[in-house]
Structure 1
Amino acid sequence: MSLYVFEDKARKKELKAKDAQKCNKGIRYYCPNPACNAKMFLWSLDGERTAHFQSKGEPGHIEHCPFGSENNFHSTYWKEEDFNADNAIEHLMNGKRTNLSTNKMSPKDKTTDDKSTKAMKPHTIRQIYDMCKAHSCKDSFNNQLIGNILVDNRSMFMYPRGVFGYHLIEAKCKRWFYDNNCIYLVSFTPKEEYEFELRFSDTKLYNEIKNMLYNNREYVIIVAGKWEKSDKFNQFSSKCNCKSQIKVLRQKV
């Protein structure tokens, strides 16, 4: 599921679901993932859910495409109001949950079109990641630019001088990725522009994360952190205080 697609195979002309009209129905569009040739079509333009794009027919999405069925974000069922990315990432680093709505509706509950019953704002690392992936990096969520939340191959052009402050990063393990209570990752982008250092003060947590990543080193990793310049060129560092800051995806590097 995606809230935007491309009209052309070269992926130069973007179309957002919120800008789509009836004339866009029934037309094949291209998945935002350049490695995926899924046929994308406009859905729910006049339905009870907000308009979105999803694949239909063959070819479908490649395995574990971030714009496929594994992306559970749908704006109908998530609360945009009061979402603050910096606060959400800070809570992830502290191992705390954000102040959630008391409404118990599940995102999987599709029986209502009352937008006032949105369950909660995105608060886990996977929920925030899926929200960012569903949107174009040039789009906004509660007046916050998506590209300023998630550092990935789409938004890398927005970081010519480095990654500073609260961000989610999409990364992969370096060949030798751990040493002296630190873990080292690199951008999951064709040019591998930046390296990322995770610093641990808790040795037990360090060993848990190290072992988890070692056993999943062929997969894409997302990390929530507060990034600052390290002593090494093009390397940025963040503390890692809890497991809620890191998620291994099913997508292979």
Structure 2
Amino acid sequence: MKYAYKDKEKTQLVQAENAEQGVVYYCENIDCPARVHIRALDSTKISAYFANYEKFPHSKNCPYKSSYIDIKKYQTKDFDLNLFFKRLFSPEIKSNSKNIINEKSSSNTMVQNTVPLPYSLLKLYKYLLNSPFDDIFCERKISDILVDLRSEHIYTKVIAGEKLLQAKLVYKNLQDKILTFRYPISEKRKNNNRC
């Protein structure tokens, strides 16, 4: 978790890099009672993140329950987001390896990456969730790719285009192949202004 609330009322967000050691913070999900603290603040190996106190765990359906990944260990320079979405929606397009992105370099050869890429939908979701909201990923702002708690003030009416959406499943009918989701994930957040 890269963001947390400073106060119990959940009105002031703080980014992990700006948090203070020894201070109790609150989960970014407004419905979650978890209390969190900063980890790896001074680390040179991994990015700072919030972890919950064992006595104050995340709620059962909290999207931040197990969302942390270290974004420093991923190489995204050669990642092709458009190809990723194309593969996601076209199962007949497959890659030979998790570490190969079918992206043509200037010499028309395959690009072989020696460091991991966020190759699965879950890893990409966690990567974006743990990245600063205004960062650029594949020439697009994170807020233009991931629609989550941080961007609900942007997407108040319509969400269009290829985006990853953090939503809550509220109805499932497998016989008629119907899934209904609620966004934002919290009813309490509908009229909240975020700082």
User: Which whole-Å CA distance do the structure 2 matches of 1:86 and 1:156 have between them?
Assistant: 23
User: Which whole-Å CA distance do the structure 2 matches of 1:11 and 1:127 have between them?
Assistant: 27
Matching residue's letter, 2:37: F
Question: Corresponding residue for 2:24?
Answer: 28
Which secondary structure state, in structure 2, belongs to the residue aligned with residue 53 of structure 1?
strand
Which secondary structure state, in structure 1, belongs to the residue aligned with residue 17 of structure 2?
helix
Matching residue's letter, 2:77: E
**Residue correspondence of structure 1 range 211-222 to structure 2 within 5 A:** none
Deviates more, 1:92-101 or 1:158-167: 92-101
Q: Does 1:74 align with 2:57?
A: no
Which secondary structure state, in structure 2, belongs to the residue aligned with residue 40 of structure 1?
strand
Q: State the shift of 1:32 in Å.
A: 0.5
Matching residue's letter, 1:14: L
User: Which whole-Å CA distance do the structure 1 matches of 2:8 and 2:156 have between them?
Assistant: 27
User: Which whole-Å CA distance do the structure 1 matches of 2:29 and 2:143 have between them?
Assistant: 16
Question: Corresponding residue for 1:94?
Answer: 90
| Contact 2:5-2:25 within 8 A present in 1 as well | yes
Q: State the shift of 1:66 in Å.
A: 2.1
User: Which whole-Å CA distance do the structure 1 matches of 2:7 and 2:95 have between them?
Assistant: 41
1:132–1:16 distance in 2 versus 1, CA, 3 Å: same
1:187–1:65 distance in 2 versus 1, CA, 3 Å: closer
1:156–1:94 distance in 2 versus 1, CA, 3 Å: same
Matching residue's letter, 1:7: K
Question: Corresponding residue for 2:123?
Answer: 127
User: Which whole-Å CA distance do the structure 2 matches of 1:118 and 1:49 have between them?
Assistant: 19
Which secondary structure state, in structure 1, belongs to the residue aligned with residue 87 of structure 2?
helix
**Residue correspondence of structure 1 range 168-247 to structure 2 within 5 A:** 168-169=164-165, 170-172=167-169, 174=171, 179=176, 183-189=178-184, 190=186
Alignment equivalent of 2:34, drawn from 32, 38, 61: 38
Q: State the shift of 1:120 in Å.
A: 1.8
User: Which whole-Å CA distance do the structure 2 matches of 1:5 and 1:98 have between them?
Assistant: 39
Structure 2 unaligned blocks of 5 or more: 101-112, 188-195
User: Which whole-Å CA distance do the structure 2 matches of 1:127 and 1:188 have between them?
Assistant: 21
Q: State the shift of 1:101 in Å.
A: 4.0
Identity percentage of aligned residues: 22
Deviates more, 1:83-92 or 1:28-37: 83-92
Q: State the shift of 1:76 in Å.
A: 2.7
Deviations 1:70-97 (CA, angstroms, capped at 9, x unpaired): 2252113222333454432222112334
Q: State the shift of 1:45 in Å.
A: 1.8
Q: State the shift of 1:99 in Å.
A: 7.8
TM (normalized to structure 2)?
0.69
Q: Does 1:140 align with 2:139?
A: no
1:79–1:73 distance in 2 versus 1, CA, 3 Å: same
Matching residue's letter, 1:4: Y
Structure with greater strand share of residues: 1
Question: Corresponding residue for 1:13?
Answer: 12
| Contact 1:149-1:167 within 8 A present in 2 as well | yes
- Consecutive aligned runs of 4 or more in structure 1 exceeding 6 Å deviation: none
> RMSD value over aligned CA atoms?
3.1
Which secondary structure state, in structure 2, belongs to the residue aligned with residue 127 of structure 1?
helix
Question: Corresponding residue for 1:65?
Answer: 62
1:160–1:61 distance in 2 versus 1, CA, 3 Å: closer
TM (normalized to structure 1)?
0.55
